[in-house]
Chains A and B, each alone.
Chain A
Amino acid sequence: MKLNLKIWRQKDAKSNGQMVDYPISGIEGDMSFLEMMDVLNEELITKGEDPVVFDHDCREGICGSCSLQINGEPHGPDRLITTCQLHMRKFNDGDTIVIEPFRAKAFPVIKDLMVDRSSFDRIQQAGGYISVNTSGNTVDANAIPIDKHDADEAMDSATCIGCGACVAACKNASAMLFTSAKVSQYALLPQGQVEATDRVLNMVRQMDLEGFGNCTNTGACEVECPKGISLENIARMNREYFSASLKG
């Protein structure tokens, strides 16, 4: 199929960017979206032009590297998948596809479609862990039984891949879904209880410091999340935050 791509090009963080048109042909339905981008880049390299820079790595939907705002939606039109799992059969011959980086103040553009998501790492560093030494001299793994439902729910929260689609989907560029997924995972497990108060206060403080917006419950994050992280996580974090504030 033939497509008309409109792609955001930006030389570096300091330069201004702009949309550039790239007509492309010979695209097959079996190609993934990123393989379509590979075809484009190969053409650009052959012509002596700079290829389009974008983040990608595992190409199987788990590392969270790939991003891309495709026709206004993070990871494109399909649900519960990342851009690398999106296939070109979702598009039609002659389509125009608009490709932009994830937009947020806390995700500055590095080049073209690549953004800096280190703000996510700093939120995790502020408290996204259990302070247990890695000596291995802990209690036996089966010493504390955990209700299967709690364990399964913790697992659901823990499947967040840190891609940033929630932020890109949110009109406020809020990182509540991302932050709450980690807070929830630990809140649901007995091992996470000891530091619960400090954790939620520190992580939320860091989230605010990074310049993410507030949550106004539009639910766009849940819709666009490739891993289906639920809004319940945000509700749980709000409860944790409230009770921590009273204690703190």
Chain B
Amino acid sequence: MGILDSKIPSGPLADKWTNHKNHIDLVNPANKRNIDIIVVGTGLAGGSAAATLAELGYNVKTFCYQDSPRRAHSIAAQGGINAAKNYQGDGDSNYRLFYDTVKGGDYRSREANVYRLAEVSGNIIDQCVAQGVPFAREYGGLLDNRSFGGVLVSRTFYAKGQTGQQLLLGAYSAMNRQINRGKILPFNRHEMMDLVKVDGKARGIIARNLVTGEIERHSAHAVVLATGGYGNVFFLSTNAMGSNVMAAWRAHRRGAFFSNPCFTQIHPTCIPVSGDHQSKLTLMSESLRNDGRIWVPKRIEDAQAIREGKLKPTQLKEEDRDYYLERRYPAFGNLVPRDVASRAAKERCDAGFGVNKTGEAVYLDFASAIMRYGKEKALTSGLKNPDDKTLRELGEKVVEAKYGNLFQMYEKIVDENPYKTPMMIYPAVHYTMGGLWVDYNLQTTIPGCYAAGEANFSDHGANRLGASALMQGLADGYFVLPYTIGDYLSNDIRTGKIATDSPEFDAAEQEVRDRIAKLMGGSGTHSVDHYHKKLGKIMWNKCGMSRNAKDLQEAIDEISNLRADFWANVRIPGSAEGMNQELEKAGRVADFLELGELFAKDALTRNESCGGHFREEYQTPEGEALRDDENFKFVSAWEYKGEPKDAVLHKEDLVYDNIELKTRSYK
């Protein structure tokens, strides 16, 4: 077991969570009133945790960098949320959701955590409906479901293409109820700059008021980090511009181990990069792969002609197109998991078959779906011998009803009509499975410091299935953390208020001030974005969809040099007093410059391919991922020791008692 104690309860898998809840220590209501908890981040995990903790009676302070908790990036999730309700009677169960998630994650997640996630998933839907979340319904008035990649049942609940928005606004409304009661004190436009430890325990944070520039001390008996993922280390991603790793990284520097940083999800269907000015990438929902067929030209000269604008995709005959996913994976076709679809697109584009100016795009074509729906519609409307034009018009209407908002979004960005010409898509960084190491109670390796949602590593292994991020965020926040944290806090009922005038707070605040002064004191050669873009290029080219030892070693050296250059030469205009958006960005990029190196180091250490982590040296003759369970069936947990190159690797061995390890096959 070593230094890492995952605290997985004993007993049969299905009874672990119930037994655990029955035996953890509780804090009585009168004592909860004397206990303070800080929650950093107010997305699905943080918002739901804050609301529940406040409702239980704790005094909660929330922190977010946005101007309102409602703007956290959970809001951008489109497709849906999984739950093993089995409303469709298609054989779904907690076990199946558990099994699909572990398999989808390529056997790199913890059995007990994933089973608990499946177990509480149904309750999430009950809770959200009670809160007034307007999920999609059938004509009978009951809830509707759709299906997502990598599974054989319909278990995804949704609210149009805005499921994340509706769930987040549900959590936000639960927070608002507690704010109104005075049980949550919200600190918006505030950023956590450091974690404060007293006697080895997390006892507070140093925060910067982003409007006034003031550095503030906040104490608590426990600190919850629900600060999302670190996809923006790639500069271009589907994350929000402000999404960052600062809070998690500050905790890492104070002793929280960082797990599996190289497990990153690259989503196959995003709108391709159009030029150097690009600031962020936009996702096109996975649901499009139900009806869209992915292809590139068969002949390289056709691809070239398309890139030069001499040939249009619609002019290419059926036999001249390579539907490469259908060709390589006949069983799953266009609905293979995200990691597989992304790699296949990269493989074709690297071989010279890309279809846009940059050579980094493939087609997602709805033409056959439009004709198929058109024929169906003609039949049900009793049309006799309709011509192709009529069929197309009818089909377009059906497709519009299904995906209209996505098609409109695409047209606004690309300025092409996706009903008439195929969409162009390319993979983009979307989600990070890695994060702070936590035990079964979601506690990090720092006592009193917890991590929830995307910020922790626990449930998705090496690849996350669609519609599972929302499930995990709310499971952690509503149903797991508020109870497991009581076990820790039951020892704090006599502690009393934590003072903020202690030497520990003095020292932490001074470090924050020194760091800001150092950032402001750069020689002023280049802007923050200059460094962020350079880092992103290194990450994308050498730590992206496929990796090899040589590139990873180069990435480590290049990032290390870039970091030194950044600290010496960054230019931040204005002052640290008051609003300074460049200073905010600089602090975040500084931490990405450390995380990026650890990311490469983690990828270099993991000599296997699994899920989103593809090492070119470890593949089958057909180019599929080659996992090595004998040597790498573990969670990496890195301990901070100064520079990222000095980080020490600890391993948590993964034990599979209930699932047989197999090679994933989608052929």
Instruction: Tell me if B136 and A35 are in contact (CB < 8 A).
Output: no
Listed stretches B274-282, B337-345, B612-620; interface member:
B274-282
Instruction: Tell me if B176 and A64 are in contact (CB < 8 A).
Output: no
Per the bound structure, the CA–CA distance linking A29 and B137 in Å amounts to 40
Given A65, A85, A134, which contacts B51 in the complex, CB threshold below 8 Å? A134
- Judged by a CB distance under 8 angstroms, whether A132 is at the interface is yes
Per the bound structure, the CA–CA distance linking A185 and B134 in Å amounts to 8
Min C-beta distance of A140 to chain B, whole Å: 6
Per the bound structure, the CA–CA distance linking A218 and B283 in Å amounts to 36
The B-contacting residues of A in range 116-137, CB under 8 angstroms, are 116-118, 120-121, 124-134, 136
Q: Which residues of A contact B588 (CB under 8 A)?
A: none
The chain B residue sitting closest to A31, CB to CB, is B277
The chain A residue sitting closest to B172, CB to CB, is A124
- Judged by a CB distance under 8 angstroms, whether A111 is at the interface is yes
- Judged by a CB distance under 8 angstroms, whether B90 is at the interface is no
The B-contacting residues of A in range 49-85, CB under 8 angstroms, are 49-51, 53, 55-65, 78, 80-81, 85
Q: When A64-B70, A87-B413, A162-B68 are in contact, do A124 and B132 touch as well, CB less than 8 Å?
A: no
Q: Which residues of B contact A161 (CB under 8 A)?
A: 165
Instruction: Tell me if A46 and B527 are in contact (CB < 8 A).
Output: yes
Q: When A63-B66, A146-B141, A155-B160 are in contact, do A138 and B130 touch as well, CB less than 8 Å?
A: yes
Interface residues as binary, B134-171 with A (CB distance below 8 Å gives 1, 0 otherwise) = 11111111110000000000000001101001100100
Instruction: Tell me if A118 and B279 are in contact (CB < 8 A).
Output: no
Instruction: Tell me if B73 and A57 are in contact (CB < 8 A).
Output: yes
Q: When A118-B68, A136-B123, A191-B129 are in contact, do A57 and B242 touch as well, CB less than 8 Å?
A: yes
- Judged by a CB distance under 8 angstroms, whether B127 is at the interface is yes
Of B408, B581, B582, most A-chain CB atoms within 10 Å: B581
Instruction: Tell me if B132 and A145 are in contact (CB < 8 A).
Output: no
Min C-beta distance of B580 to chain A, whole Å: 9
Listed stretches B193-201, B309-317, B570-578, B659-667; interface member:
B570-578
Q: Which residues of A contact B75 (CB under 8 A)?
A: 58, 62-63
Instruction: Tell me if A65 and B71 are in contact (CB < 8 A).
Output: yes
Per the bound structure, the CA–CA distance linking A210 and B130 in Å amounts to 29
Min C-beta distance of B58 to chain A, whole Å: 13
Q: Which residues of A contact B125 (CB under 8 A)?
A: 141
- Judged by a CB distance under 8 angstroms, whether A1 is at the interface is no
Given B174, B179, B241, B277, which contacts A59 in the complex, CB threshold below 8 Å? B241
Chain A residues in the interface with B (C-beta under 8 A) = 12, 28-32, 34-35, 38-39, 42, 44-46, 48-51, 53, 55-65, 78, 80-81, 85, 87, 89, 110-111, 114, 116-118, 120-121, 124-134, 136, 138-142, 144-148, 151-152, 154-155, 158-159, 161-162, 185-186, 189, 191-192
Chain B residues in the interface with A (C-beta under 8 A) = 48, 51-52, 55, 66-71, 73, 75-76, 85, 87, 120, 123-132, 134-143, 159-160, 162, 165-166, 169, 172-174, 176-177, 179-180, 186, 188, 211, 238, 240-242, 274-275, 277-280, 282-283, 408-409, 412-413, 415, 478-479, 524, 527, 529, 571, 573-574, 578-579, 581-582
- Beyond the given A38-B529, A111-B578, A142-B142, please list 9 additional residue pairs across the A-B interface where CB-CB is below 8 A: A30-B415, A87-B413, A121-B70, A124-B70, A128-B173, A129-B177, A145-B141, A186-B132, A191-B132
